Amino acid sequence: MSDLPFILFSLVAACAAIMVVTRAVPVHALLYLVVLLLSLAGIFQALGAPFAAMLEIIIYAGAVMVLFVFVVMMLNLGRTDRDRERHWMAPGIWIGPAILSCLLLAALCITLRALPPAAGPDTLVSIGPQAVGIMLYGPYVLSVELASFLLLAGLVSAFHIGRNIRGTVTGEA
Amino acid sequence: MDALLLPLIVFCPLLAAGILFVSAGRMPARASCMIGAGSVGLSALLAGRLAASFLAAPLPAGTLHMALWSWMRVEGFSTRIAFALDPLSLVMMLVVTGVGFLILLYACGYMHDDPDIARFFGCMTLFVAAMLVLVFSSDLLSLYIGWEGVGICSYLLIGFWHTDTANVVAARKAFIVTRIGDAAMLCGLLLLATQASTLDIAALLHIVATGPAQLLPATAAFLLLGGAAAKSAQVPLQTWLPDAMAGPTPVSALIHAATMVTAGVYLIARLHPLFMAVPVAMKAVALVGLITLLLAAGSALVQTDIKRILAYSTMSQIGYMFLALGSGAWQAAIFHLVTHAFFKALLFMAAGAVILRVHHRQDIYQMGGLAPAMPVVFSAFLAGAAALAGLPLLTAGFYSKEMILQGAWHANPLLWAGALLGAFATAIYIFRCVFIVFLGTRHTEPTGRTGATMAIPLACLAILALAGGWMEMPDTIAPVHLLSHLLSPLFGTATAEGPSWLLWAGSLVPLAGVGVAWLLWRPRTQARTAPEDAIARLARTGWGFDTLYDTLLVRPFITLGRLNQSDLCDRLSDATAATTRAGSRMLSRMQSGQVRRYAGWIAAGTVVALCLGIRP
Amino acid sequence: MSTPSPTEALLLASILFATGLLGVLARRNLLLMLMSIEIMLNAAALAFIAAGARWHAAQGQVMFLMILSLAAAEAAVGLAIILRLHAAGRPTLDADTGNRLKG
């Protein structure tokens, strides 16, 4: 039987996710997303992954969400945007995606049911940062390199895409 | 050394054809003439050299082989491009190169002011090369190359003056009708190839001779007979030959009298064991020959165009050869082939000379009284006519026709009677032509003169048409059997001769025919117009075969084509195209460019893949 | 002591993934679509963590780190594109208007 914090965090996460996708104002959705990420961090902690939980809070809920907040600020959204967003979210639009999502969920649930029961003792062992670090810089050092490549590529392309904006601004100035 | 001459004889005219076609008329007319006639003359010289050595020292096997290269070798079948010289092809080679050279020499005079003379000589030399391939081939498949080669040259030359639609139509007709026969022949060849797994003539005939009698030789023999009948203008595929006279006169002389139309005779003679194995096919050959002989002679009686008279006469004479083949008188058929090549080429060339002198008129009723104006041409034509009619003792046609009559008598007296009737008609129609054209009152004033390039071949052929028969005589007159002796390794000894009254009948009937012609068309009482009753009109149009084929085949086909204008069979492939196009349109609609749609497709694909994965 | 079962964590991951998919498919605003993609990525990360917990292995967290860097890069590029579109005269961020590349 699951412990109480896990169930609570799970409920919060599910509700927050639903709220994120149904909000008309981006900032509201963003706040719910932060809630979702924090509750996920709690779940990670409950699942015995404290390092992941900390990273989730620091990098995801911290850095990435700040990026989103900056962008939302720069977009300078107003009442008209909110109205248009409401207009886009007419009830009819939801039917097709909802059916598809439910189908996917059903398929995933059936897959989960087919999983074999846990072979080992039904106890959770906390896996600390040390074990993760040894694994990371041991057999998985190549994936660290790949991640660094990916981040570098993201940096370069973001710079390239964003460069023209600055170019026009300086051009006008 | 001798074996090398064989491909060289073919190569000379082929090279000339290549040069002439490539020159595309940029050479002066005289150069074209010299290349064309010279190459064939060179072949004739080489052929003479080869014949001399062949006759002087007969090979033990009786055949000279020259395998050029292996064409194809697959499992269970192989064929080679190979030449062979045996007595039969020797005779044919001499006829093709010798008569061919004389005709090309004549053509130099006849065509000298034609702007397309290079094309003319190119086609003619190509024809000679193809005909030699046909004659030399020791393999039926390479023989078929020559067979089709002469067919295409015939088509090109009938339609030589292609600006006139009628000529093109005639060429097309000749091509299509002979193609029907060629298709039959190809079927026969393939049948033989599948059954005997070889098309080498010697091996094939060996299999036919030793193998058990079955349906195969009969079917193959009839299919080959179809091919031979179409090429040699025999009933029922004879309708193309009279129209083929649309071509220039040397073409008619070379292709449609002397050589190509006798290819059918050559084919049957070459494959005679196959036909001998099937008595029904022999009877059919004889019957086809007899019917053609009589029908064509009847048509020739009432024609007004001098070249058409000669065309029908050619059909009739080839009918004689088929009759001889069907009677098993192989030597007689080949003998008549040779003499016919002499006198028919002579007649065509003389007729061509006449036509040139009377401003390209061909209607005999517009000529008349030309003998004093052109004595050389007249004597040449007279010699040819006498040989064609078979006037006794003096002419070549007499001896060959006599031999055929003897053979027919041995096969069936009824065939002999038909052939004799044909001989009577032959004498009448050709001397009708002689009397109307050369005697009586003059209707068209002849101009110009016949040059030496035309007169010399005429003289040569006139001598051959008269003296060419002395190589083979009945025993009653003189025991000379040069040709039979030459051909005996192939055909065996000739059959014994019949009673001597046969010879008398054979000599008197042509004389009677000439007498009848004199009574009907002698200068005083000459009728100045052609007979116009129903039978004459029917005979003039070739006994309505054209109309029959038109109603039976051509018109239904055209109607069918008109009905099927929208091409029903094409609908099937159209449907395939339409389905593909509709499918592509449907799929391209998926490419809407909308990110969310794409995401939807990805999600749907994921769901489907998951469902497939969890299905037990 | 009762412990959270990895199977239930996987169930939660499925729900989050389906919700994120719903957002991607239903929302027209590019910003909201990006957020939905973040939800889906987190669902995947949760699945990895749960699997790692299930087998007592550290690899789950290693994969979580991979997803983390992936999400960071994706957010950076995606947000840059959004800013670019906004500056280029498309302030509505409508995903459906960017269909000039259709077949």
- What CATH number is given to the structural domain containing A58? 1.20.120.1200
Distance from CA of C59 to the nearest CA of B (A): 24
Mutation target vs C (from B587, B588, B591, B596; most C CBs, 10 A cutoff) = B596
B119-135 burial, b if ≥16 CB within 10 A, otherwise e? bbbbbbbbbbbbbbbbb
pLDDT at B507: 85
C96 close to A (CB below 8 A): no
Residue of B421, B401, B389, B422 whose CA lies nearest to B518 = B389
* A62 domain residue, yes or no: yes
Cα B373 to its chain centre, rounded Å, is 34
C24 close to B (CB below 8 A): yes
Q: Which residue has the tokens 């000039």?
A: C100
Give chain A's domain count.
2
User: Under an 8 A CB cutoff, do A110 and B604 touch?
Assistant: no
What backbone phi and psi angles, to 5 degrees, belong to B368? 95, 135
User: Under an 8 A CB cutoff, do B614 and A103 touch?
Assistant: no
CA Rg value for chain C: 17
Written as one letter, the residue type at B584 is S
Average pLDDT over residues A120-134: 80
Q: Which domain holds residue A172?
A: 140-173
Closest CA in chain B for residue C96: B594
Q: Which residues pair with B72 in a beta bridge?
A: B79
pLDDT at A164: 61
* A18 domain residue, yes or no: yes
Q: Which residues of B touch A101 (CB under 8 A)?
A: 603
User: Under an 8 A CB cutoff, do C96 and B588 touch?
Assistant: no
CB C61 within 8 A of CB A51: yes
CB B428 within 8 A of CB B517: yes
Those residues whose C-beta lies under 8 Å from the C-beta of residue B457, and which sit 6 or more positions away, are: B102, B103, B105, B106, B349
User: Which residues of chain C have a pLDDT value below 50?
Assistant: 1, 103
> What's the residue count for chain A?
173
Measured between CB atoms, which of A47, A60, A155 is closest to C68?
A60
Q: Is B248 left (phi over 0), alpha (psi -120 to 50) or beta?
A: beta
C-alpha–C-alpha distance, residues B57 and B62, integer Å:
10
User: Under an 8 A CB cutoff, do C22 and A21 touch?
Assistant: yes
User: Under an 8 A CB cutoff, do B607 and A103 touch?
Assistant: yes
CB B540 within 8 A of CB B303: yes
More confident residue, B520 or A151: A151
Distance from CA of C96 to the nearest CA of B (A): 5
Same domain, A89 and A23: yes
Same domain, A13 and A92: yes
Measured between CB atoms, which of A100, A110, A111 is closest to B603?
A100
Chains that touch A (3 or more CB pairs under 8 A): B, C
Tokens of B579: 């389905």
Same domain, A94 and A144: no
Same domain, A37 and A75: yes
* A131 domain residue, yes or no: no
Q: Where are the alpha helices (DSSP H) in B358-492?
A: 375-389, 396-411, 413-438, 452-467, 482-491
C-alpha–C-alpha distance, residues B437 and B234, integer Å:
28
Q: Which residues of B touch C95 (CB under 8 A)?
A: 594-596
CB B81 within 8 A of CB B142: yes
Same domain, A42 and A108: yes
pLDDT greater than 90 at residue A19:
yes
pLDDT greater than 90 at residue A34:
yes
DSSP state, B85?
E
Measured between CB atoms, which of A26, A47, A161 is closest to C31?
A26
Same domain, A77 and A158: no
Closest CA in chain B for residue C23: B596
Measured between CB atoms, which of A20, A43, A124 is closest to C3?
A124
Give me the domains of chain C, ranges plus CATH numbers.
7-89 (1.10.287.3510)
Residue of B336, B306, B478 whose CA lies nearest to B405 = B336
SS3 letters across chain A? CCCHHHHHHHHHHHHHHHHHHHCCCHHHHHHHHHHHHHHHHHHHHHCCCHHHHHHHHHHHHHHHHHHHHHHHHHHCCCHHHHHHHHHHCCHHHHHHHHHHHHHHHHHHHHHHHCCCCCCCCCCCCCCCHHHHHHHHCCCCHHHHHHHHHHHHHHHHHHHHHHHHHHHHHHHHC
* A126 domain residue, yes or no: no
Domain boundary residue among A97, A114, A131? A114
Mutation target vs B (from A101, A102, A103, A108; most B CBs, 10 A cutoff) = A103
Same domain, A82 and A145: no
Q: How many CB pairs under 8 A join A and C?
A: 240
Distance from CA of A74 to the nearest CA of B (A): 24
B528 burial level (CB within 10 Å; 0-12, 13-18, 19+): exposed
Those residues whose C-beta lies under 8 Å from the C-beta of residue A85, and which sit 6 or more positions away, are: A24, A25, C29
Same domain, A147 and A98: no
pLDDT at A171: 38
Residue of B71, B66, B87 whose CA lies nearest to B11 = B66
User: Under an 8 A CB cutoff, do C73 and A49 touch?
Assistant: no
CA angle centred on B339, ends B335 and B340, rounded to 5°: 110
Same domain, A9 and A89: yes
Same domain, A39 and A100: yes
Q: Which residues of A touch B603 (CB under 8 A)?
A: 100-101, 104
Q: Which residues of C touch A48 (CB under 8 A)?
A: 53
Identify the helix (H) or strand (E) that includes residue B67. Answer: strand B64-74
Q: Which residue has the tokens 């196009």?
A: B581
* A44 domain residue, yes or no: yes
User: Under an 8 A CB cutoff, do B613 and A111 touch?
Assistant: yes
Same domain, A99 and A44: yes
User: Under an 8 A CB cutoff, do C68 and A55 touch?
Assistant: yes
Q: How many CB pairs under 8 A join A and B?
A: 22
Mutation target vs A (from B607, B612, B614, B615; most A CBs, 10 A cutoff) = B607
Mean pLDDT, 10 residues at a time, over chain B (616 residues)? 82 92 84 90 92 78 78 81 88 92 90 86 93 91 91 92 90 91 91 82 81 70 91 87 88 88 91 86 91 90 88 92 90 90 92 87 82 87 90 85 87 88 91 87 78 87 87 77 80 72 85 88 69 78 83 88 81 91 89 83 90 78
User: How large is the ipTM?
Assistant: 0.90
Measured between CB atoms, which of C31, C45, C56 is closest to A120?
C56
CA angle centred on B129, ends B82 and B351, rounded to 5°: 140
* A64 domain residue, yes or no: yes
User: Under an 8 A CB cutoff, do A162 and C73 touch?
Assistant: no
Measured between CB atoms, which of B590, B593, B599 is closest to C101?
B593
C33 close to B (CB below 8 A): yes
CB B235 within 8 A of CB B544: no
pLDDT at B58: 66
CB B206 within 8 A of CB B172: no
CB B596 within 8 A of CB C28: yes
Residue of B242, B429, B234 whose CA lies nearest to B318 = B234
Q: Which residues of C touch B595 (CB under 8 A)?
A: 33, 95, 98
Closest CA in chain C for residue A57: C68
Identify the helix (H) or strand (E) that includes residue B356. Answer: helix B330-357
Sign of torsion, CA B384 B388 B390 B391? negative
Mutation target vs A (from C1, C24, C27, C54; most A CBs, 10 A cutoff) = C27
Mutation target vs B (from A88, A101, A104; most B CBs, 10 A cutoff) = A104
Q: Which residues of B touch A100 (CB under 8 A)?
A: 600, 603-604, 607
Q: Which residue has the tokens 């040259």?
A: B153
Distance from CA of B75 to the nearest CA of A (A): 59
Average pLDDT over residues A103-112: 88
What backbone phi and psi angles, to 5 degrees, belong to B304? -110, -20
Q: Which residues of B touch A103 (CB under 8 A)?
A: 607
Centre a 10 Å sphere on the Cβ of residue B310 and count the other Cβ atoms it contains: 29
Identify the helix (H) or strand (E) that includes residue B560. Answer: helix B555-563
Q: What is the mean pLDDT of chain A?
A: 85
User: Under an 8 A CB cutoff, do C62 and A135 touch?
Assistant: yes
Tokens of B239: 């309708």
Domain boundaries, chain B: 566-614
Give the dihedral of Cα atoms C66, C69, C74, C80; nearest 10 deg. -170
CB B306 within 8 A of CB B245: no
SS3 at position B475: coil
Closest CA in chain A for residue B610: A107
Q: How many CB pairs under 8 A join B and C?
A: 32
Tokens of A173: 């100035």
Same domain, A102 and A149: no
Q: Which residues pair with A48 in a beta bridge?
A: none
Q: Helix and strand tally (H, E) in chain C?
A: 3, 0
pLDDT greater than 90 at residue A35:
yes
User: Under an 8 A CB cutoff, do C33 and B596 touch?
Assistant: yes
Sign of torsion, CA B378 B380 B381 B386? positive
SS3 letters across B222-290? HHHHHHHHHHCCCCCCCCHHHHHHHCCHHHHHHHHHHCHHHHHHHHHHHCHHHHHCCHHHHHHHHHHHH
Give the dihedral of Cα atoms B145, B148, B153, B154; nearest 10 deg. 150
Tokens of B1: 């050394």
B600 close to A (CB below 8 A): yes
